[in-house]
Amino acid sequence: MTRNTPSSASLILFDAEGRARKTQAHAVRLQLADGRSVTVDLSQAADGVVSLLAEHTDERQRAGLLMRPDSHDAVSVAVTATPLVTTTGTPVTPPALELDVQYGDGIKAGKGLPARGRIETWLRSALFADAELTVRFVGEEEGRMLNRSYRGKDYPTNVLTFAYAEQEDDPVAADIVLCCPVVEREAREQGKPLEAHYAHLIVHGALHAQGYEHEDDAEAEEMEAIETETLQALGYADPYRVRPAD
């Protein structure tokens, strides 16, 4: 931007060979190739004040300035970039999700089950990276068989997560299996809306798919904190809140 006004400061540009060219400017922007930029605001230059503003063309990135004194009268400025994240640490712009929703024998879409769009919203809220996930709703027989075969426990449980990433850098891929009769029974016993309980278990499964566990108190505390904050951001109550006695 160039303004020939009394408040404009003189801007001197130097090429690679040290040749100078002088112009008048109100502000100047240095645009970096990856989208980062720093704008030098000269509007208060008459008072000896120069302001710096860091920006990024990618709305998912927050730009910042890192300043390091080089001497008593010189400073180096680096334009930084960090991904915008939610309070739980997930990206503000949700990662890509490839989702397959399946229904076991005797289980039909509807009839108290969450719609695909709602499932996608719940999963995206709990993802820290792109993921390929299958959510399968099953009856007691299939739920019991899976729990017995893979966990050695001869009863159906509310949710099972089969995560397929073997290394930390592997893409997130998992099957999340929910046993509908168990989920419905738990919701009644705990006095929770059925939708809220499904939301909690699907978020819980998504965290397991990304390597979160609750084998010890520290792991459980971290996982429960993320689940609680995620559910509350989605508009549901704290899933671990203890109901007052009747």
Helix (H, G, I), strand (E, B) or coil at 196: helix
pTM equals 0.69
- Report DSSP state, residue 5: S
Q: Which residue has the tokens 């993320």?
A: 226
Task: Please give the full DSSP string across 105-144, using - where no structure is assigned.
Answer: TT--SSTTPPPHHHHHHHHHHT-SS-EEEEEEEE-HHHHH
- pLDDT tens for the chain, 246 residues: list them: 444 444 567 777 777 777 777 777 778 888 887 888 888 887 777 777 788 878 887 766 777 776 666 677 777 777 766 666 776 677 777 789 999 999 999 999 988 999 999 999 999 999 999 999 999 999 999 999 999 999 999 999 999 999 998 887 889 999 999 999 999 999 999 999 999 999 999 999 999 999 999 989 999 999 999 999 999 999 999 999 855 444
- Is 208 marked as a binding-site residue? yes
- Say what the pLDDT of residue 2 is: 43
Q: List the structure tokens of 178.
A: 């929910």
Helix (H, G, I), strand (E, B) or coil at 232: helix
Q: Residue 88, class by beta-carbon neighbours within 10 Å (0-12 exposed, 13-18 middle, 19+ buried)?
A: middle
The amino acid at residue 165 is A
- Is 200 marked as a binding-site residue? no
Could you tell me which residues come within 8 angstroms of residue 130 by beta carbon, excluding any fewer than 6 positions away? 95, 96, 97, 171, 172
- Is 26 marked as a binding-site residue? no
Q: Residue 201, class by beta-carbon neighbours within 10 Å (0-12 exposed, 13-18 middle, 19+ buried)?
A: buried
